Amino acid sequence: MSITPPEQKVWFNEPVEKTEVIWVIIALAWALIMFAMMPLWHLKGTQNMSNEAYRIQPDVYQARVDAFVEKFKVGEEGHAKTPVVRPPAGSDVYMLARLWEWYPVLELEKGKSYRLHLSSLDWQHGFSVQPANINLQVHPGIDEVVTITPTDSGDFGIICNEYCGIGHHTMLGKIRVVAGK
C-alpha cells in the first residue's frame, strides 16, 4: 500500500505496466507541444510581450510625459480634467501611472501602430485595457515599451488591476480609438 514500504526494496527496479507507459508518452508529447507553442507564437503570432524596457528615474519619466502632453494635447476630459492627447501614428506615446490616476487620455487611430511607454511614479500598477483585455504590469523605475496596434475603435477603460492602496478602485483611465480616414 501507499502507506507501507514498497514490496521491492529498490523501487526503481520495478517494471512498469503498459497503461502507465502509454499515458506517460501521451502526456510528455502534450507537454512538448505546449512548450513549442510559446516560441512559435513569437515567430508567427501577433500578440507577444515586448522585451524592450529601460531603467528610468520617475522624475525623468514625468518630464517626458509632460513634454508629450504639451505637444499633442487636444482637449480635457473627465472629473479630473485629464488632458486628451492625440499623437501621430507610429510615434512614441506615453502613459503614466500614479496614485490614483492614469495620465493622460490617449486618442489613437485604429489599425495604426504606436510605441507605448508605460511607467509608474510611485507604486506598482496594473495596466488593464478593457474590454480588449490586455493586462500589463507597470513598475516604478522601469520604462516599458510595447508596440501596440488597436484593432477595434471605441472608448476603452484602463483599469488599474494591481492593488495600490485605498484609492485603487478609483484609478481608471481611458484610451479612445478612432477609425482612420
147-176 positions binding another protein, by CB under 8 A: 147-152, 155, 157, 159-166, 168-174
Residue 118: closest CA among 137, 99, 134: 137
Residues 79-98 close enough to bind another protein by CB under 8 A: 79-80, 82
- The cell for 145 is 515599451
Residue 64 to residue 66: CA distance in whole angstroms: 5
Residue 35 to residue 134: CA distance in whole angstroms: 22
Of 86, 142, 153, 178, the residue at the interface with another protein (CB under 8 A) is 142
Peptide bond before residue 131 is cis, with ω within 30 degrees of 0: yes
Of 60, 71, 74, 78, the residue at the interface with another protein (CB under 8 A) is 78
Residues 112-141 close enough to bind another protein by CB under 8 A: 113, 118, 122-124, 126, 128-141
Listed in sequence order, the residues at least 6 apart from 37 whose beta carbon sits closer than 8 Å to its beta carbon are none
Number of chain positions touching another protein (CB under 8 A) = 97
Between 14 and 70, CB nearer to another protein: 14
* CB neighbour class for 140 (10 Å; exposed up to 12, middle 13-18, buried from 19): middle
Backbone angles phi, psi at 57, to 5 degrees: -80, 140
Between 15 and 181, CB nearer to another protein: 15
Strand partners for 128: 135, 159
Of 105, 106, 107, 109, the residue at the interface with another protein (CB under 8 A) is 105
CB 37, min distance to another protein, A: 7
- Contact assessment for residue 113 and residue 89, using Cβ atoms and an 8 Å cutoff: yes
CB 162, min distance to another protein, A: 6
Between 71 and 147, CB nearer to another protein: 147
CB 177, min distance to another protein, A: 9
- Contact assessment for residue 107 and residue 173, using Cβ atoms and an 8 Å cutoff: no
Between 53 and 66, CB nearer to another protein: 53
Between 72 and 171, CB nearer to another protein: 171
